Amino acid sequence: MGLPWLTPFSPCRAQRAGGSEYRQWSARLHHQWGALGGGSTGSTGTGGPTEVWKAGTSLVRGWGHHVQERDACHPWCDTCFPQAAYLQQAGLRTAVLEKRHVLGGAAVTEEIVPGTLHTPRPPARYLLCASLTTPCSPGFKFSRASYLLSLLRPQIYTELELQRHGLRVLPRDPYSFTPLLEDRSPPRSLLMGHDMAQTQRQIAQFSQKDAQAYPKYEVFMGRLVSAINPLLDAPPADTAALGQGSLLQRLRALWPLLQAGLALGRQLPHFYEVLTAPISKILDHWFESEPLKATLATDAVIGAMSSPHTPGGGYVLLHHVMGELEGRRGAWGYVAGGMGALSQAIARAAATYGAHIFTEQAVCRVLLGSDGQAQGVVMQDGTEVRSKVVLSNASPQLTFLELTPQERLPEDFVRRIQQLDTRSPVTKINVAVDRLPSFLAAPNTRDSQPLPHHCCSIHLNCEGTHLLHQAYTEAAHGHPSSRPMIELCIPSALDPGLAPPGCHVVSLFTQYTPYELAGGQPWDEKARNAYADTVFDCIEAYAPGFKVSVIGRDILTPPDLERIFGLPGGNIFHGGMSLDQLYFTRPAPSYSTYQSPVPGLYLCGSGAHPGGGVMGAAGRNAAQVVLRDFRRLRWQR
């Protein structure tokens, strides 16, 4: 079957067209979903007439919203929507509503900077180049928010047959490059990959002791990850079951945790230390060279408003080393065509099973019945989509503080959602350049072809953990870092189709920048560009000529990430990944198993267990809970 969002009568096109096309589209939906009728529902819209659709399942996604019609309804997510595919696969009629024009939440590919001729060269400071250059084709295609793949659960690859639906992953090896600023010529650098012997030789430049310790460190971290990995693929232990039933039933509820403890064995105290201690303390135990420690520490602070010296950052480190690609633990890669190609592959899988997916359809309210049960969603134009359950892939704040009537939620629950830590240090900058960066530590060849280090995550301002702490301290006081932590990626080095010939797309994941600037100053264009200029000055020190190579840039501060992608506070995880916001307490105590205080309303995004990243785990787990609840209801009848 065709993809619904591309059909002639997709809602986004039909509503813009109005008249007969809208009526044809409305009639088509009424026939497909068995709509009960039309007329006013008490909600006025700005578009076409108010309609009522009969659905089964609705999915509301992230800041855009998806409604899946059949047995469940889903608000949108910030990554992808595997839950739609799983529910449809199990026989539930499903519909997805996306607010934005593009599918995928934060896992999208967007052509922000058009293809351009190289003359006249615009100044490197402006935001976009469209008005300053002559467009040509193709343009620059960016993974505008999420930009790397590793955490997606391996079961999702196989169960949804994503490769058959077009997903192609480009592994990176080597995967990490840290050039240094030094007086020597050329400066040293640290290149790390899956060849352990070669990585050890690189580390030995700084410390023979660290070179010997690194394989043991990898084994240690791998053992911890193997122990907790099964916890990601199931709901947290049901705390309600711990207070009732027989001893055997209570132990059964705790069995996943007991299994993890047994797998850890004598490593349990070390695991506890990794979770609770500052990551700087853990790394100091293993290593002595600052470039190595700073490079490893980036995985513990990325996306978190915390320093390497902040207690409890170890889980974020584990979170970023627990992924895998093509069976290789800890590997990260690019998605061919950008991250949006992943969302498209999952959407194709869902559509193959019969799910219907609509873009530019914003949800404004979860529809509740007189008994308090979720019955669907209301869209901004007043259309009601009726369903038996609603799954929200939006953040907990958006789901429960904006979309759900507050009088139907317990006061304590609302207060806990309001108190979630959503601080974000992240500003993402997407850059179009007309040449590859040439680093002092590893100059380009004469033909300017990509070298192995161009395919890596390139860590700048990582000569030592003290620089990361300094950058954090400035942001904690309301000032963007003067020497920010920068992770520079060049996906077009492996996927040249993302940019015009000879050009490249550069992803800059930077921190630390506060959501609110000191003195109440706004994140206006002047502030955005001033920070971007600081970032570019830093890159210029490592790779002279970078600034003059810039054709265009897209600057996304924490408020921009919130506004465009629905990430609360700009937090890429829908909320901090600190110990007090994980497992039993994500998003709140007693509500960690995807169910909410509203019967029939489920949370299935990054704000639910096991947390953020392009994982799909929360969606897959939530779908299992919904199906279990459906089976229970049918058995009771």
Distance CA 416, CA 592 (A): 13
Residue 70's pLDDT is: 45
Q: In the predicted model, what is the mean pLDDT of the chain? A: 84
Instruction: Tell me which residue of 200, 266, 263 sits closest to 228, measured CA to CA.
Output: 263
Residue 74's pLDDT is: 55
Domain edges within the chain: 1-108+144-168+341-421+590-637, 207-331
Q: What is the pLDDT of residues 93-150, one digit of tens each?
A: 898 988 888 888 899 999 987 654 443 333 332 233 332 233 334 689 999 999 999 9
β-sheet bridge partners, residue 54: 386
Residue 58's pLDDT is: 56
Residues 584 and 239 sit within 8 Å (Cβ to Cβ): yes
β-sheet bridge partners, residue 51: 38
Distance CA 336, CA 331 (A): 16
Residues 87 and 72 sit within 8 Å (Cβ to Cβ): yes
Sorted by sequence, the CB contacts under 8 Å of residue 628 that are 6+ apart come out as none
Pairing state of beta strands 389-392 and 601-603?
Answer: parallel
% of the chain at pLDDT higher than 90? 66
Q: How many CA within 13 A on the CB side of residue 91?
A: 3
Q: How many CA within 13 A on the CB side of residue 396?
A: 34
Burial class (CB in 10 A: 0-12, 13-18, 19+), 91: middle
- Can you tell me whether residue 280 is helix, strand or coil? helix
Distance CA 260, CA 229 (A): 9
432-469 in b/e burial notation, b at 16+ Cβ within 10 A?
bbbebbbbbbbebeeeeebbebbbbbbbbbbbbbebbb
Task: Of 308-322, 545-559, 580-594, 607-621, give the lowest mean pLDDT range.
Answer: 308-322
The position carrying tokens 């979630």 is 420
Instruction: Tell me which residue of 231, 233, 307 sits closest to 262, measured CA to CA.
Output: 231
Instruction: Tell me which residue of 531, 636, 637, 619 sits closest to 68, measured CA to CA.
Output: 619
Residues 180 and 458 sit within 8 Å (Cβ to Cβ): no
pLDDT interval class at 40 (50, 70, 90): very low
Helix H segments across 234-289? 247-264, 268-276, 279-286
Read off the amino acid at residue 134. Answer: T
Across 212-240, average pLDDT: 91
Whether the predicted pLDDT of 634 surpasses 80: no
Whether the predicted pLDDT of 66 surpasses 70: no
- Name the CATH code of domain 1-108+144-168+341-421+590-637 (choices 2.60.40.10, 3.90.870.10, 3.20.20.80, 3.50.50.60): 3.50.50.60
**What is the helix (H) or strand (E) element at residue 346, kind and residue range?**
helix 340-353
Residues 573 and 558 sit within 8 Å (Cβ to Cβ): no
Whether the predicted pLDDT of 593 surpasses 50: yes
Residues 175 and 458 sit within 8 Å (Cβ to Cβ): no
Across 197-203, average pLDDT: 98
Q: What is the pLDDT of residues 463-513, one digit of tens each?
A: 999 999 999 999 999 999 999 999 999 999 999 999 999 999 999 999 999
Residue 72's pLDDT is: 55
Across 279-304, average pLDDT: 97
DSSP labels, 74-123: E-B-SS--HHHHHHHHTT--EEEE-SSSSSSTTS-EEEEEEEE-S-SPPP
Phi and psi, residue 360, nearest 5°: 55, 40
Burial class (CB in 10 A: 0-12, 13-18, 19+), 426: buried
